[in-house]
Amino acid sequence: MSAAQVVNLLVAALLLAGVYAIMSYGLALAYGVMKLVNLAHAGFMMLGAYLTLEAFRRLGLDPLLGAVATAGVLWLVGMGVYWLLVRHVPTGDEPTLPSLLLLFGVWLVLQNIGYLIWGTQDQAILTPRTLQTLRLGPVTLPVVRVLVFLVALVGLVVLHLVLGRTWFGRAVRALTQNRQASRIVGIDVGRTAMLAFGASTAFSGLAGGLLATLYSFNPDFGGPFLLRSFVIIVLGGLESFAGVALGGLVLALLETFSVLVIPAGYQLALSFGLLVVALLVLPGGLPSLFAWRRRL
Amino acid sequence: MSSTKSQVVAPAAVGVSWQSWLGQAAPIVLAGVVGAAVPLLRDDPNTIRLLFIAYVLVTTSIAWNVLGGFTGQVSFGFAVFYGLGAYTTALLITRAGVHPYLAYLAGGVLAALASLVIGVPAFRLRGPYFAIATIGVSETVRVIANNLKLTGGASGFRVVERRPFNQLEHYYVALLVALGALALTLVLARTRAGLAMRAVRDDQDAAAAVGIDPFRWKLIAHALAALLTGIAGGVFARYAAFIHPGGVFAFQTGVAILLMPVIGGLGTLWGPVFGGLIYGIVQEQLIARFPQIHLLLYGILLILIILFEPGGLVGLARRVQRRLSAGRGRGS
Lowest mean pLDDT, pick from A126-140, A221-235, B29-43, B244-258: A126-140
B72 near A CB under 8 A: yes
pLDDT at B329 over 70: no
Is the distance from CB of A244 to CB of A28 less than 8 angstroms?
A: yes
**Cα separations (Å) of A145 from A124, A153, A166?**
15, 12, 31
A92 near B CB under 8 A: no
Pairwise CA distance, residues B306 & A89, whole Å: 8
Is the distance from CB of A214 to CB of A19 less than 8 angstroms?
A: yes
103-122 of B, contacting A, C-beta below 8 A:
121-122
How much is the pLDDT for B2?
36
Interval A109-135 mean pLDDT:
84
Q: Helix A189-214 to helix A63-84 angle, to the nearest 10 degrees?
A: 150
Lowest mean pLDDT, pick from A170-179, B92-101, B149-158: B149-158
**Cα separations (Å) of B313 from B2, B20, B30, B257, B259?**
14, 24, 21, 16, 12
Put simply, the answer to whether B299 touches A107 (Cβ < 8 Å) is: yes
Pairwise CA distance, residues B226 & B59, whole Å: 11
Q: What is the 3-state secondary structure (H, E, C) of chain B?
A: CCCCHHHCCCCCCCCCCHHHHHHHHHHHHHHHHHHHHHHHHCCCHHHHHHHHHHHHHHHHHHHHHHHHHHCCCCCCCHHHHHHHHHHHHHHHHHHHCCCHHHHHHHHHHHHHHHHHHHHHHHCCCCHHHHHHHHHHHHHHHHHHHHHCCCCCHHHCEECCCCCCCCHHHHHHHHHHHHHHHHHHHHHHHHCHHHHHHHHHHHCHHHHHHCCCCHHHHHHHHHHHHHHHHHHHHHHHHHHHCEECHHHHCCHHHHHHHHHHHHHHCCCCCCHHHHHHHHHHHHHHHHCCCCHHHHHHHHHHHHHHHHHHCCCHHHHHHHHHHHHHHHHHHHHC
How much is the pLDDT for A83?
93
Average pLDDT, whole number, for chain B? 85
Looking at per-residue pLDDT, the higher value among A46 and A153 belongs to A46
How much is the pLDDT for A36?
83
Chain A environment of B121 (Cβ under 8 Å):
276, 280
Chain segment B235-260, per-residue pLDDT in tens: 999 998 888 888 888 888 888 899 89
Put simply, the answer to whether A88 touches B144 (Cβ < 8 Å) is: no
Looking at per-residue pLDDT, the higher value among B327 and B49 belongs to B49
State which residue of chain A sits closest to B296, comparing Cα positions.
A109
Pairwise CA distance, residues A286 & A59, whole Å: 43
Average pLDDT, whole number, for chain A? 83
Put simply, the answer to whether B303 touches A105 (Cβ < 8 Å) is: yes
- The CATH code belonging to domain B25-331 is 1.10.3470
Domain map (residue ranges) of chain B: 25-331
Is the distance from CB of B279 to CB of B55 less than 8 angstroms?
A: no
Chain B environment of A273 (Cβ under 8 Å):
136, 140
The pTM for the full model equals 0.83
Put residue A35 in one of left, alpha, beta given phi > 0 → left and psi -120 to 50 → alpha. Answer: left
Q: Would you tell me which CATH number, out of the four given (3.90.1720, 1.10.3470, 1.10.10, 3.40.720), belongs to the domain A3-294? A: 1.10.3470
Please state the separation of Cα A284 from the chain's center in Å. 20
Chain segment B291-325, per-residue pLDDT in tens: 667 788 888 988 998 888 888 888 888 888 888 88
Domain map (residue ranges) of chain A: 3-294
Model confidence at A294, in pLDDT bands (50, 70, 90)?
very low
A140 near B CB under 8 A: no
A90 near B CB under 8 A: no
Pairwise CA distance, residues B24 & B122, whole Å: 34
Model confidence at A175, in pLDDT bands (50, 70, 90)?
confident
How much is the pLDDT for A296?
38
pLDDT at B31 over 90: no
Pairwise CA distance, residues B5 & B10, whole Å: 10
pLDDT at B66 over 90: yes
Give me the residue from B129, B146, B302 closest to A108, CB to CB: B302
220-259 of A, contacting B, C-beta below 8 A:
223-224, 227, 230-231, 234
Model confidence at B232, in pLDDT bands (50, 70, 90)?
very high
| DSSP string across A114-169 | HHHHH-SS-B----TTTT-EEEETTEEEEHHHHHHHHHHHHHHHHHHHHHHHSHHH
Nearest to A240 by CA among A30, A27, A17, A32: A32
Chain A environment of B71 (Cβ under 8 Å):
none
